[in-house]
Chains A and B, each alone.
Chain A
């Protein structure tokens, strides 16, 4: 028996599956883009706080990181979708919950990347800025951040790729993203081999594009 025996010999099912995957891709992209953008903000602030001298903020940031790193993203998704609405009395749609989960989860990992990158910048850069009479914020944004950003870029892109892949887990809170659409199709058609092979290749194509973008941006920045 060869691998080919597993593959469907009739590809007609693609005419149904592919539109579903593209419909799912729309949500995967929307949730990833909004989630990652928020994660970048959360992560930058948290990462800065982590290496700063603000005691209370630092403690809060550390607890946040501890909770996120110590629980699986699938559990976080279930929690945000089913438990938090009951606690605060506001219902989230599954897409809203999805965005929140991606933002909070990636935010924690981005924070670690940002903290490391900020710490890596030679303190002489900071001193040079201050000695010229720049304020602390000016020094941070004009002397430290440009260098930290360059250092952080590869790790940031890595985290973004992880975030996009993690959206597949949001199927547990019925977000209609790519994986959920594939599961829907497989459940109705019983074509599991064809469906999930297509799904895997579909992700591979989308993420390859993202990896390529990462390389391009990195090369541009490192010029």
Chain B
């Protein structure tokens, strides 16, 4: 068995009195693609955001390569440099061109000098099929194109793993395919990924492990074949029946 890259240990999160995540534990090994599915409000996104501390967990811890990511800012920043994130609403920097979006973080974090970063950024834009859009600002790109730029931007930091927070939920159905194609390519290349998604087809075909969440709990988890063809829990069956 390969090494555990990201381990979520007994994670809980409350917003005031509302308990959104209840004692979640989960391990992701190197190269594994984990898809988290479940109804809206089940805590999927919050879980993902707790992993890289965009939300502060109420209790529990995150381990990265066996070591606990402490609450120290420098620790969190370092973790984020190694584990990238892609958002539902892309969150590209609107005043920067696609190229500048992609090369900004490597330059600012001194991972690369400008020239190197530029070359790498062009390579990445090419990889997501947008080399021709390098000098275009986000507002002139379609949602699907924006999301692919966002993926290239995350890849520019040469992350060890990527977190996807419903990357296709804000897209027109027609544009979903291009984004999923890029993600599938990444998965094939061995990228470690945690993907919160409503794309059951993607989860079924690409994931190594599927987690079904509801009400802040992990209700059921296992290989996609088991979850999609022979779910054990009543709640999972109910949820999946709407997609079949």
Chain A positions near chain B (C-beta within 8 angstroms): 122, 124-125, 127-128, 130-136, 138, 142-143, 146-147, 150
Contact = CB atoms under 8 A, between A and B. Distances in A.
Interface stretch (B58-66, B101-109, B177-185, B224-232): B101-109
Secondary structure at the A interface, as helix, strand, loop or mixed, is: helix
A143 B95 CA distance: 9
A127 B153 CA distance: 13
A132 B91 CA distance: 12
Interface of B: 52, 54, 73, 77-78, 80-82, 84-85, 87, 89, 91-95, 104-105, 108-109, 150, 153-154, 157
Contacts of A124: 87, 89, 91
A136 B109 CA distance: 12
Nearest to B76: A130
Contacts, number: 55
B234 to A, nearest CB: 36
B194 to A, nearest CB: 13
A146 B95 contact: yes
9 contacts: A128-B91, A128-B93, A131-B84, A131-B154, A132-B84, A133-B80, A133-B105, A135-B77, A136-B73
B104 A131 contact: no
B17 to A, nearest CB: 21
Nearest to A122: B91
A25 B59 CA distance: 63
B117 to A, nearest CB: 13
A128 B87 contact: yes
B159 to A, nearest CB: 9
Contacts of B108: 134, 138, 142
A130 B54 CA distance: 8
A146 B80 CA distance: 23
Contacts of B109: 132-134
B77 A131 contact: no
A112 B41 CA distance: 35
Given A125-B91, A125-B93, A146-B95, A132 B78 contact: no
A122 B90 CA distance: 12
B146 to A, nearest CB: 12
A143 B108 CA distance: 12
Given A124-B87, A138-B108, A142-B108, A131 B80 contact: yes
A133 B153 CA distance: 12
B81 A133 contact: yes
A147 B93 CA distance: 9
B54 A131 contact: yes
Contact of B105 (A132, A136, A150): A132
Contacts of B77: 133-135
Shortest Cβ-Cβ A-B pairs, 3 listed? A133-B81, A128-B91, A132-B105
Contacts of A142: 104, 108
A131 B84 CA distance: 6
B135 to A, nearest CB: 14
B91 A134 contact: no
A160 to B, nearest CB: 23
Nearest to A221: B95
Nearest to B96: A146
Contacts of B157: 132-133
